Amino acid sequence: MSIFSQIKKGLVAGAILATTALTAQADTLKYSDHDATGGMRTDFVNDVWLPEIEKRTDGEINIRPFFGGTLLGSKEVLGGVGDNIAQLGFVFPGHYPNRMVAHSVFAMFPTGPAAFEDQAWMYNQAYEQIPALKNELAKAGVVPLMITAGLPGAFFGNNELNGLDDIQGDNWRAGGKWLLRYLEAAGANPVSVPWGDVYVALQTGTIDGVFANYDGMHLMKFDEVASNIMISKRLWYATPFVHFINKDIYDSMSEETRQQLHDASRYAEQQFAGVYEEAFNTVRSEQEEAGYSIVELSDEDIAKWSDPDKLTALQEAWVEDAKAVGLENADEVMAKMRDLHAQAMAR
């Protein structure tokens, strides 16, 4: 039995008990997620985190989930939860470059801890030690509860890939300007293509490859048309996946209920570590069975991708850009993140 199945089985009984305990006075909170179920994160949210909240609050909270953008889209959920259209939600900060500027600092670290436990430690420390992060969420009217993450970054290409040098001169897609800058620094021609158009762009040769989180690309079946793959657990997809609650709803709750929410979320984060590891192995196993070409990036390739001179220049450019759009202490945010990143890598 898989780790995820064990977690799910252990929660079913508790979820049933919570459901039967619901009364007419129970609060029903809507949860909005732009991703559909069937992926690592969405299944975990639906089958572990949300039932755990219901269980820990003894049925005082009942959650009605909306997946696949059926209630709010990826660029609507932050404002939608803040405006109480939904009370719980998930956001990928990269979809809000102007409203979540401080959160973009995570993307400035192209390599990171391989284990989710160490990633979660860094994320939670960042929220505690960098006020700008929580301030951005508070300004939007939400409070963070749980952090998850996508699997590490990976390269899916049309052409043969044996190492990082093989992307040079080809057209490669990534999400967000900073990942595009990494591709450019590695010698590729960076191309911006909407996520929903990537499959066809790969199929038609409009782009030669795509760099994104391993699980997301596999779920979208990009490997069907770009079956040359380079991976490494050290290529963490650094931007956190933030799950939050409407601030007014949160403030109206009793101290006990708020603590139960946080306890459920910390428990879920701990359980996600096993799901994260298993999902990586499952994706690789399925690709191997399909006969795709999979190459582990070498230490030399990792060093090229995170070249310290080029990285320092990009981080300094981030500081200037962030200050220009209103993050006045961007240099302090970067300095603190460098320190936390070094500590996380040393764990």
- The identity of residue 329, as a single letter, is N
Q: How many Å apart are CA 282 and CA 60, to the nearest integer?
A: 36
pLDDT at 319 over 90: yes
pLDDT of 100 reads 97
What architecture is the 153-236+292-346 domain classified under in CATH? 3-Layer(aba) Sandwich (3.40)
- The residue whose two tokens read 């069975």 is 289
Is 210 within 8 Å of 198 (Cβ atoms)? yes
Whether pTM exceeds 0.85: yes
- Domain map (residue ranges) of the chain: 3-150+237-281, 153-236+292-346
pLDDT at position 176: 86
Q: Above 90 in pLDDT, residue 130?
A: yes
Say whether 34 sits in a helix, a strand or coil: coil
Asked if the model's pLDDT at residue 17 lies above 70, the reply is no
Which 8-state DSSP code applies to residue 221? T
Contact between 96 and 75 under an 8 Å Cβ cutoff? The reply is yes
The Cα angle at residue 315 between residues 311 and 320, in degrees rounded to 5: 150
Burial 91-128 (b: 16+ CB within 10 A, else e): bbbbbbeebbbbbbbbbbbbbbbbebbbbbbbbebbbe
Alpha helices in 34-76 (DSSP H): 40-44, 50-56
What is 3-150+237-281's CATH superfamily? Answer: Bacterial extracellular solute-binding protein, family 7 (3.40.190.170)
Residue 294 confidence (pLDDT) above 50:
yes
pLDDT the model gives residue 5: 52
> How many residues would you count in the chain?
347
pLDDT tens string 28-64: 999 999 999 999 999 999 999 999 999 999 989 999 9
| pLDDT band for position 13 (cuts 50, 70, 90) | very low
- Which of the four pLDDT bands, split at 50, 70 and 90, describes residue 23? very low
Are 206 and 193 a contacting pair, CB within 8 Å?
yes
Q: Which spans in the chain are helix H? A: 3-20, 40-44, 50-56, 77-82, 116-129, 131-139, 177-185, 198-204, 214-219, 247-252, 255-289, 299-305, 308-324, 330-346
Predicted pLDDT at 262? 97
Examine the pLDDT at 275 and tell me if it is beyond 50. Answer: yes
- Angstrom CA distances, 145 to 84, 177, 202, 223, stand at 16, 28, 37, 33
Distance CA 193, CA 203 (A): 13
Residue 12 pLDDT: 44
User: Taking 80 as the threshold, does the pLDDT of residue 317 lie above it?
Assistant: yes
Tokens representing 133?
């992060």
Q: How far apart are CA 213 and CA 137, in angstroms?
A: 24
pLDDT mean across residues, the chain: 92
Tokens of 212: 């994104």
Same fold for the pair 3-150+237-281 and 153-236+292-346: yes
Q: What is the pLDDT of residue 15?
A: 40
pLDDT tier for residue 6 given thresholds of 50, 70 and 90? low
pLDDT over 70 (residue 20) = no
Q: What tokens appear for 275 in the block?
A: 């799901």
Asked if the model's pLDDT at residue 19 lies above 80, the reply is no
Residue 216, token pair as written in the block: 């997301």
Q: Which residue has the tokens 């709010």?
A: 72
What is the dihedral angle through the alpha carbons of 338, 342, 345, 347, rounded to the nearest 10 degrees?
-130
User: Are 223 and 287 within 8 A, CB to CB?
Assistant: yes
Which pLDDT tens digit goes with each residue over 148-199? 999 999 999 999 999 999 999 999 999 888 999 999 999 999 999 999 999 9
Give the model confidence (pLDDT) of 201-246 as tens digits. 999 999 999 999 999 999 999 999 999 999 999 999 899 999 999 9
How many Cα atoms occupy the beta-carbon half-sphere of 41 within 13 Å?
26
Task: For residue 34, give Cα distances in angstroms to 70, 125, 256, 339.
Answer: 7, 27, 30, 33
